[in-house]
Structure 1
Amino acid sequence: MRVAIAGSSGLIGTALVAALRASGHDVVRMVRRATHAPDEVRWDPTTRLDPDVLGSTDAVINLCGASIGDRRWTGEYKQELRDSRTGPTEVLGEAAAAAGVGTVINASAVGYYGDTGSAKVDESSPAGEGFLASLCEEWEATALRHANPGTRVACIRTGVVLSRAGGMLPKLIPLYKLGLGGRLGDGRQYFPWISLEDHVRAVEFILGNPDLHGPVNLTGPAPVTNAEFNRAFAKATHRPAPWIVPGFALKAAVGEFASEGILGGQRAIPAKLEAAGFEFVHNTIREALEATLARSSQS
């Protein structure tokens, strides 16, 4: 397949480009800067994209979006989070529809479900409440808006991606190795994780499976609570992790994001992937952490 990827320089995009090429696919990286290689195409996600750019493309994968937890959620940053998602999705959706692209895979997140407590949720569950839920709902609606009747659109609702190359783990590993790890708040909030390896494999699986469309949860098969994650991380680093960060301290430090992104969570199950026959490499948080930390120690 010829696959165009927007957001190809991020954690997931970098790994996905390598994996797709290893599988024999022709990958085009859509970049916002001047092009430096023949596999790159320059685009501006704030303006219309010429459909001819996607004329021979079989699939478009859109991974664009500013990081949720990098800054406090001021009104200005909330708007940036929206614009960085819906803007590129709108531009790519229009161009893909005009070019007759058969498959569009668009990023989303399990934040769609809001804080679900201990209740399991899958792709049939409704949207939750809060900023993240409304953000994801708008994001997915934008992805579906321009789809032709013959276009397959999959919105990948991603959990926390575990990798040594980026995301939250590189920040946590030094703390845990110093014995400074601990649970966040009461630790009962669910932590919907997935290893980077399984995430990339799942996206490639969706590309090759025409029956997968609409929302698809990209989470590990066994979500854990924050307390369980803390214990697994402590075992993987061979360090104690006895500390507790009170909820009020997190709210004071990072504001509104603490309530939804840290002290809230989703017990999200990858029902569609499992029903379609996808097999995870890392079925438990222990397997995922041990594999990730083993690679970290070898790098």
Structure 2
Amino acid sequence: MNILMTGGTGLIGSAFIRKYRDTHQFTVTTRNKGVAREKLGDNVTLLSSVDDVADIGKFDAVINLQGEGIADKRWSDSRKQALKDSRWQVTEKLAAMINASKTPPKVFLSGSAIGYYGPRDAEPVNENDVAEHSDFAVTLCQEWERRALAAKDVTRVALLRTGVVLTKGEGALAQMLTPYKFGLGGPLGDGKQMMSWIQLQDMTRAIQYLLEHDNLSGPVNMTAPGPVANEAFSRTLASVMNKPHFMRVPGFVLKLGLGEMSSMLLQGQAVVPDKLRSHGFEFEYPTVREAFKVSV
């Protein structure tokens, strides 16, 4: 396939390109072509922005992964606006370009997140569920998806509701490992909040699966089938690393340090990939222990 990708230098995008560079042709938008070239190699076409796309109709697929890192900085008002703008604007522009094309791409895969469902208890959540309460993450994801779905009348649109992506040396897990390395690992808050995650290799395989299967559209939970409570997540991580597990971080400490962003750590949801599994996708790393063994 000839693929246009935004967010191609990020964790998921760059891993997908590395894995499938011999299968697909990639055009990637980037603000820093030098960094992108070094990271992605010479056989990727680089553009400064989607505004430089002359004809979106020449692409078979569009994969939209662009967005500022949700946990990179404290959520000030200006940071929230940056998080919204970096997702909403490019998504709206891509949908408009697809709609205006005489020969639109066959599929539009657009990023989203499990924050769409809002804080939940331990009851499993699938693609048919909606948020029970509204917060910043819910609003962010709902509007992100709404703008992508503007193209659904002319192309197949799939929304990638992604959980915590686990991989070695990068992303959220790399940030979690530091206290464990010093023997200070433990659960966050009361440890009851559910964590929905996916190993990076399964994430890239699932994206490829969505490209290949024309009968998959709408929201797709990009999470492993084994969500776990934070207590079990952290205990398993400590076990795989052969480290102690006793240093609980009180919720109020996280709230003081991170403000509203602490909700990402202290609240959760047990998101399950019903749509992927019902269509035949098989996970290589269905349990968190299996994922940790290749990720730490």
Report if TM-score (shorter chain) is over 0.5: yes
Selected match of 1:59 from 43, 58, 61 = 61
Q: TM-score, normalised by structure 1?
A: 0.92
Q: Which amino acid aligns with 1:42?
A: L
Matched, 1:26 2:29: no
- Asked whether the equivalents of residues 180 and 241 of structure 1 are also in contact (C-alpha less than 8 Å), the reply is yes
Q: CA RMSD in A?
A: 1.5
Tell me the equivalent position of 1:274: 277
The structure-2 alpha-carbon separation of the partners of 1:34 and 1:9, relative to structure 1 and needing over 3 Å to count, comes to closer
Matched, 1:226 2:230: yes
Tell me the equivalent position of 1:166: 170
Matched, 1:289 2:288: no
Selected match of 1:206 from 190, 207, 210 = 210
Matched, 1:10 2:14: no
Note the C-alpha offset of 1:54: 2.1
Matches within 5 A, 1:82-231: 82-99=84-101, 100-128=104-132, 129-145=134-150, 147=151, 149-231=153-235
Q: Structure 2: how far apart are the matches of 1:290 and 1:164?
A: 10
Note the C-alpha offset of 1:251: 0.1
The structure-2 alpha-carbon separation of the partners of 1:69 and 1:50, relative to structure 1 and needing over 3 Å to count, comes to closer
SS at match of 1:61: strand
Matches within 5 A, 1:36-55: 37=42, 39-44=44-49, 49=51, 52-55=54-57
Q: Structure 2: how far apart are the matches of 1:74 and 1:122?
A: 31
Q: TM-score, normalised by structure 2?
A: 0.93
Q: Which one is further off, 97-106 or 249-258?
A: 97-106
Selected match of 1:264 from 263, 267, 278 = 267
Q: Structure 2: how far apart are the matches of 1:141 and 1:218?
A: 18
Selected match of 1:237 from 232, 238, 241 = 241
Note the C-alpha offset of 1:40: 2.1
Structure 1 unaligned regions, length at least 5: 294-299
- Asked whether the equivalents of residues 110 and 159 of structure 1 are also in contact (C-alpha less than 8 Å), the reply is yes
- Asked whether the equivalents of residues 33 and 42 of structure 1 are also in contact (C-alpha less than 8 Å), the reply is no
Structure 2 unaligned regions, length at least 5: none
Q: Which amino acid aligns with 2:66?
A: C
The structure-2 alpha-carbon separation of the partners of 1:122 and 1:139, relative to structure 1 and needing over 3 Å to count, comes to same
Q: Which amino acid aligns with 1:178?
A: F
- Asked whether the equivalents of residues 167 and 294 of structure 2 are also in contact (C-alpha less than 8 Å), the reply is no
Q: Structure 1: how far apart are the matches of 2:99 and 2:32?
A: 24
Note the C-alpha offset of 1:42: 1.6
Number of residue pairs aligned between Structure 1 and Structure 2: 287
